[in-house]
Amino acid sequence: MLKSAPGRQVIVATESDVSGRKSSANVKHSLSVAGHRTSITLEQAFWDGLRAIARRRGEPVASLVARIDADRGGANLSSAIRVFVLNATAAASRDGAANEPGSGVSEASFEGL
């Protein structure tokens, strides 16, 4: 929730993706990671990107999240997933979707988080 000074209005703009869902709305999903149930909250746009990456790689989202979790170092899991999706999207844009990076998620990707 945003707070503003008295008399000042705060307007928060959100973009809708092509399906009409708000891409900036936080969505919580529960899944098993390394044998433990956990809840992860991400913006819808990041869930969509994560699902697309998993689909292209032919693996379940939970498996991809488990690999991100194992490689994240000290970063928060939700933050690590966002960085992973951004890096994979940038690499796909640079190199073309067929050359998306492999499974390697280096700790260097999460420096500063």
What are the φ and ψ backbone dihedral angles of 78, each rounded to 5 degrees?
Answer: -60, -40
User: Tens of pLDDT along 46-57?
Assistant: 999 999 999 999
Please check whether residue 10 lies inside any domain of the structure.
Answer: no
Read off the pLDDT of residues 56-75 as tens digits, 9 standing for 90 and up: 999 999 999 999 999 998 88
pLDDT at 4: 38
107: in domain: no
In three-state form (DSSP H/G/I as H, E/B as E, the rest C), the secondary structure along 9-55 is CCCCCCCECCCCCECCCEEEEEEEECCEEEEEEEEHHHHHHHHHHHH
Q: Is the pTM of this model over 0.85?
A: no
CB 59 within 8 A of CB 32: no
In a domain, 58, yes or no: yes
Question: What is the pLDDT, as a whole number, of residue 8?
Answer: 40
In a domain, 71, yes or no: yes
Within a domain: residue 83? yes
Distances (CA, A) of 81 to 8, 10, 19, 78: 35, 29, 22, 5
Q: Structure tokens of 13?
A: 């703009």
Between residues 83 and 6, the one the model is more confident about:
83
Domain containing residue 82: 26-97
The pLDDT tens digits for 80-95 are: 999 999 999 998 888 7
Indicate the DSSP class of residue 103.
Answer: S
**Residue 1: inside a domain:** no
Termini Cα distance of the chain: 23
Domain at 31, CATH number: 1.10.3990.20
